[in-house]
Amino acid sequence: MKIIIKNSAADASAAVTDMLLQQIGKKPDSVLGLPTGATPLAVYARLRDEFRNGRGCYKDITTFNLDEYLGLSAEDPASYSFYMRENLFRHVDFDLGRAHIPHGLAADADAEANRYEALIAAYGGIDFMLLGLGRNAHIGFNEPGSLHNSRTRRVALTASTLEANAAYFPPGAKQPSHAITMGIGTILESREIVVLAAGAEKAEAVAASVKGPGTEFVPGSALGRHPNTTIVLDTAAAQHLERAQTLEFDA
Ligand code: PGA
């Protein structure tokens, strides 16, 4: 696991943006795994800016988002489909037909999860998976307790996640309690994984994920098993990592 610590969240986002742009430059038909939430907003803003300045071509890119709320349509402003269109897809030369996100209104969530898992496999897996890290160290919506070999499936969200995400729902709107998420095992099959985390509220989750031990109670700790993972942090999120530990994991 390689750890990169930047002085600010903006610098960490810039480093991740460069990694993404390098990936799609090197492999124009890359299959990307993408996250939502607050953390990647600055990355998507930078990708939009870079595109306006002529950098980045998305014509042949395929994307698989990590997760989607159950019960929300793709038109719902709180859905991750909506988030992706507004924050990235409609601003670049991307073919929306290549954007894959679990269907939040699927009548049979288990069947939808299986379809999604099979679709990722049909595309030959994910080349470059960008992840955020939840305050409870979740990756995607794999909450603590998720098996490290779990596959794409329907999950219940924890109180901590519901509270962290409540602000995205207008007052009075019903917040979904369940979602479909890529499994940890599915994520770990990606050829490269980049995790972005910033801010003091992520420091405990970062430390537990990086220092180990690998345990189901810390979903991020599964990343230690992956041969090509880079964690990009700001100094606040890295505050519980000692230099020696950082070096030890800098392999
Ligand atoms: P956040 O969420 O970026 O909104 O903090 C991270 C995550 O849940 O993966």
Q: Could you tell me the domains of the chain?
A: 2-250 (3.40.50.1360)
* Those residues with Cβ within 8 angstroms of residue 226's Cβ, 6 or more apart along the chain or in another chain: 1, 188, 190, 193
- Picking from 68, 66, 79, 82, the residue whose alpha carbon sits closest to that of residue 33 is 66
In the reported structure, the alpha carbon of residue 24 is separated from the centroid of ligand 1 by a whole-number distance in angstroms of: 24
Name the residue among 212, 80, 198, 84 with its Cα closest to residue 148: 212
Distance from residue 37's CA to the centre of ligand 1 (Å)? 5
> How far, in Å, is the centroid of ligand 1 from the Cα of 7?
20
Handedness of CA 118, 123, 124, 126 (dihedral sign): negative
- For residue 33, report the distance from its CA to the centre of ligand 1, in Å: 15
Instruction: Report whether residue 38 contacts ligand 1, using a CB cutoff of 6 Å.
Output: yes
C-alpha angle 225/230/232, rounded to 5°?
Answer: 135
The pLDDT, as a whole number, for residue 249 is: 54
Residue 60's CB is within 10 A of a number of other CB atoms, namely: 14
Asked whether the beta carbons of 233 and 10 are under 8 A apart, the reply is: no
Q: Is 216 designated active site?
A: no
Task: Pick the atom of ligand 1 nearest to 36's CA.
Answer: 3
Ligand 1 contact, 56 CB (< 6 A): no
Cβ 96 vs Cβ 61: under 8 Å: no
Active site residue 67: yes
Residue 242: per-residue pLDDT? 79
- With a 6 Å cutoff on the Cβ, whether 166 touches ligand 1 is no
Predicted local distance difference test score (pLDDT) of residue 105 = 97
pLDDT of residue 171: 87
The answer to whether 210 and 249 are in contact (CB under 8 A) is: yes
Instruction: Work out the burial of residue 48: count CB atoms within 10 Å of its CB; fewer than 13 is exposed, 13-18 middle, 19 or more buried.
Output: middle
Q: For ligand 1, atom 8, name the residue with the nearest CA.
A: 134
In this prediction, the residues of the chain whose per-residue pLDDT falls under 50 are 250-251
Q: Which pair of tokens denotes residue 80?
A: 């991750």
CA distance 210 to 236: 15
Supply the pTM of this predicted model: 0.95
Tell me, yes or no, if 87 is annotated catalytic. no
CA-nearest of 66, 59, 62, 94 to 81 is: 66
**Tokens 């309690």 identify what position?**
177
The answer to whether 20 touches 51, Cβ cutoff 8 Å, is: no
Question: Ligand 1 centre from 65 Cα, in Å?
Answer: 14
Measure CA 30 to chain center. 16
Q: Give the pLDDT confidence score for residue 172 in this predicted structure.
A: 86
pLDDT tens digits for range 167-180:
999 888 889 999 99
Please confirm, yes or no, whether 143 is among the known catalytic residues: yes
Q: What per-residue confidence (pLDDT) applies to 244?
A: 56
- Residue position matching structure tokens 């990086």: 210
Q: Which atom of ligand 1 is nearest to the CA of 164?
A: 4
